[in-house]
């Protein structure tokens, strides 16, 4: 949304361009008449063509003005609340009053934390104006003596799609390449591309990440990928890990959700997926609410077991901060917002849908701040199931055709 001053600037530019275009149109018509071209039919035709040209130029003028004056989307409300809850009050006030983008906040925190070579002399003119307007010294003084948490870590713990993007980015590059897949497809797939596997960040993945040591993880990962899973040593270690997972699951009231997963060897698919220890630690740090979101909707959609890869398949272009398509409304939606939104729209869809996947897609799309096609829920629904259905089913066949599941 534009503030009052921005609206005035926008309207002023449109009025100026409209005046210029009108003057050009009248001048052309006057020249035509001055040349003696006064036949009524010619004048009518020239007028019609002129009006069409006028309308086209006006549309272009409005688009140009909008692009020039429209600021980058600021931090969405749910994410802004996360920032207010975890940073000094002045940081939240700065974000609200000056409508900082997440990229600008990242720069501010970098300067305050003294990390890297970034200083006030290196930031953009727009950000410098915002800091001057708010009072940079006020920010510095209010944060003095405070330990500012990592923005990446706070967003990862609260924003579900930010978590998935970071999980993908941290993954080894060679494994998706060897499987002939894009990283965002491979890392969102069932563990190890196993037919009956679970995604790595499901209930089982979270339990495993919280009970294993790095040494155990390295040993079992190598075993799962080198076909030595059934050796006596591996099974002994695995049994002990499953016992620890069971104890943790019971303390968190999760055993009902995961009791069958270990019988299906979902732990095998977790270790076979090829994650590095950083990815495992990322899963470990997930709050239980996000774990439940990922676990409860793991089998959403019309292709069982591929709910999250299908979701990211579409929304991934909007998650990259360096991309012109980046949409903070989508990229920074919190897991609490997503859960609440799904509940709210469950009984309000304008068309038949009994798929949780459809509800999540629409819930995410409604949070778009870019005004792109992703913000049109009905378009998203049609796009998925009419235009990409064949690709998704082809991928489903690829996974099942290359399954390495073994008990």
C-alpha 92/C-alpha 200 separation (Å) is 34
CB 280 within 8 A of CB 217: yes
C-alpha 261/C-alpha 259 separation (Å) is 6
- pTM (2 d.p.): 0.76
C-alpha 212/C-alpha 233 separation (Å) is 16
Q: What is the pLDDT of residue 306?
A: 67
CB 162 within 8 A of CB 153: no
**pLDDT level of residue 130 (50, 70, 90 thresholds):** very high
Rounded average pLDDT over 183-208: 87
CB 203 within 8 A of CB 254: yes
User: Which range has the worst mean pLDDT, 12-21, 190-199, 275-284?
Assistant: 12-21
Tokens of 147: 């330990």
CB 211 within 8 A of CB 245: yes
Rounded average pLDDT over 21-44: 63
DSSP H helical ranges for 35-100 = 40-69, 77-86, 89-98
**pLDDT level of residue 97 (50, 70, 90 thresholds):** very high
Of the two residues 294 and 37, the one the predictor is more confident about is 294
Q: What is the pLDDT of residue 363?
A: 84
pLDDT tens digits, 366-407: 888 876 555 555 555 555 554 444 444 444 444 434 433 333
Backbone angles phi, psi at 36, to 5 degrees: 85, 10
Q: What is the pLDDT of residue 150?
A: 95
pLDDT tens digits, 283-339: 999 999 999 988 887 755 545 556 788 788 888 989 999 888 899 999 999 999 998
C-alpha 202/C-alpha 74 separation (Å) is 31
For the chain, how big is the Rg over CA atoms in Å?
27
As a whole number of angstroms, the longest Cα–Cα distance in the chain is: 101
E strands present in 236-317: none
């Amino acid at each position: 949304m534009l503030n009052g001053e921005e609206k005035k600037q926008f309207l002023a530019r449109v009025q100026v361009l409209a005046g210029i275009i009108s003057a050009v149109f009248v001048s052309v018509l006057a020249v035509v008449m001055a040349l003696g071209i006064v036949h009524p039919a010619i004048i009518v035709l020239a007028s019609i063509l002129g009006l069409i040209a006028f309308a086209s130029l006006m549309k272009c003028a409005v688009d140009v003005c909008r692009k020039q004056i429209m600021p980058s989307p600021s931090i969405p409300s749910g994410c802004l609340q996360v920032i207010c809850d975890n940073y000094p009050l002045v940081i939240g006030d700065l974000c609200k009053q000056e409508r900082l983008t997440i990229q600008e906040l990242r720069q501010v925190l970098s300067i305050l934390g003294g990390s890297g070579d970034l200083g006030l002399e290196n930031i953009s003119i727009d950000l410098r104006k915002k800091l001057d307007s708010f009072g940079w010294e006020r920010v510095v003084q209010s944060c003095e003596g405070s330990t500012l948490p990592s923005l990446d870590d706070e967003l990862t713990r609260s924003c579900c799609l930010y978590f998935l993007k970071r999980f993908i980015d941290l993954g080894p590059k060679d494994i998706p390449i060897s499987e002939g897949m894009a990283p965002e497809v491979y890392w969102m797939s069932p563990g190890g591309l196993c037919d009956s596997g679970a995604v790595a960040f499901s209930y089982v993945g979270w339990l495993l990440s919280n009970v294993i040591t790095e040494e155990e993880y390295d040993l079992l990962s190598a075993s799962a990928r080198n076909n030595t899973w059934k050796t006596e040593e591996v099974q002994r270690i695995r049994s002990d890990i499953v016992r620890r997972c069971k104890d943790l699951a019971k303390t968190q009231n999760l055993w009902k959700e995961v009791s069958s997963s270990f019988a299906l060897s979902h732990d095998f698919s977790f270790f076979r997926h090829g994650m590095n220890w950083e990815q495992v630690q990322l899963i470990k740090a997930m709050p239980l609410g996000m774990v439940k979101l990922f676990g409860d909707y793991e089998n959403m959609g019309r292709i069982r077991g591929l709910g999250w890869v299908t979701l990211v398949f579409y929304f991934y272009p909007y998650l990259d901060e360096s991309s012109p398509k980046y949409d903070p409304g989508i990229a920074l939606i919190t897991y609490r917002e997503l859960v609440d939104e799904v509940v709210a729209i469950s009984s309000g869809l304008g068309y038949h849908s009994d798929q949780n996947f459809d509800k999540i897609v629409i819930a995410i799309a409604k949070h778009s701040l870019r005004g792109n096609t992703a913000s049109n829920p009905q378009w998203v629904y049609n796009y998925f199931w009419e235009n990409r259905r064949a690709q998704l089913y082809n991928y489903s066949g690829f996974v099942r055709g290359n399954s390495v599941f073994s008990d």
